[in-house]
Amino acid sequence: MSFDLLAPHYRWMEALCAGGQLQRCRTALLTALSTPQHVLVYGEGNGRFLLELCRHFPAAHVTVVEASAVMIDLARTRLQRAGLAHAYVEFIHADALIWQPPVATFDLIVTCFFLDCFRADQLQQLIPTIASAATPDAQWLLADFQIAPAGLRRLSSRVIVGFLYAFFRCVTRLSANELVNVEPYLTAAGFTRHARREFILGLLFCEARQR
């Protein structure tokens, strides 16, 4: 699996497919979070969320775990262009399925459109590993796709999500092929939801969770 090929095209493709809705979804609940000191961001991508995170919490130390070197370059350049090269950001070029985070270190975990990259058997291992990096009172900011519960919205979300998996599996060699409901894993790790928003008729959601 690699997002390197896709990385240079990710921004315009996102704009074409969803306008500003994905970015609205990623950032909508930044104001619902208490100020973090140490943030762990998984699968940041090209740095659009990271820039807003650094603007919103300028004193936070941010660790980014990202498997794509091209995405990391894009994110670094974006921070530099915005005059935030000095921000406390450490990029770790690693596979989240292998990298072991330091224990009980981060008071904010971020996964935006990241957990949808994994199969259920992978999430069963990955989410407890990520949770082990969180402090006892940590927050978790999550954004992702979802399948609507019923009606025409359910049908359209299934078609759109199905198309996205076909595309990403072809271009990035992703092994996941369907959305997994991560709610039970997050709840089992002690993270309960305190804020939630939906976008594009419920196709996208974001949540702020707290231990």
Ligand X SMILES: C[S@@+](CC[C@H](N)C(=O)[O-])C[C@H]1O[C@@H](n2cnc3c(N)ncnc32)[C@H](O)[C@@H]1O
How many residues of this chain interact with ligand X, rule: CB under 6 A?
Answer: 19
Q: Which is nearer to ligand X, 99 or 155 (CB)?
A: 99
**For residues 92-115, b (16+ Cβ closer than 10 Å) or e, as one string?**
eeeebeeeebeeebbbbbbbbbbb
Q: Which is nearer to ligand X, 68 or 157 (CB)?
A: 68
Site string for ligand X, 123-162 (x = CB under 6 A): ----------------------------------------
Please, what is the Cα angle at 133 between 130 and 136, to 5 degrees? Answer: 115
**Euclidean distance between CA atoms 37 and 27, whole angstroms:** 18
* Cβ within 8 Å of residue 178, ≥6 positions away: 161, 165
Q: How far is the CB of 167 from ligand X (least distance, A)?
A: 11
Site string for ligand X, 90-109 (x = CB under 6 A): -----xxx------------
Of the ranges 111-119, 128-136, 146-154, 195-203, which one interacts with ligand X (CB under 6 A)? 111-119
Rg from Cα positions in the chain? 16
115 binds ligand X per the rule CB under 6 A: no
Q: How far is the CB of 40 from ligand X (least distance, A)?
A: 12
Element (H, E) at 1: none
Of the ranges 52-60, 80-88, 110-118, 145-153, which one interacts with ligand X (CB under 6 A)? 110-118
Q: Among 57, 91, 106, 113, which residue interacts with ligand X (rule: CB under 6 A)?
A: 113
Q: Which is nearer to ligand X, 29 or 67 (CB)?
A: 67
Site string for ligand X, 19-48 (x = CB under 6 A): -------x----------------xxx---
- Mind giving me the DSSP string for 175-209? ---S----HHHHHHTT-EEEEEEEETTTTEEEEEE
68 binds ligand X per the rule CB under 6 A: yes
Q: What is the amino acid identity at position 72?
A: I
Q: How far is CA 103 from CA 21, 130, 139, 161, in A?
A: 34, 9, 15, 34
Q: What is the amino acid identity at position 111?
A: T
Q: How far is the CB of 24 from ligand X (least distance, A)?
A: 12
Q: Where does this chain bind ligand X (CB under 6 A)?
A: 1, 3, 26, 43-45, 49, 65-68, 71, 95-97, 112-114, 117
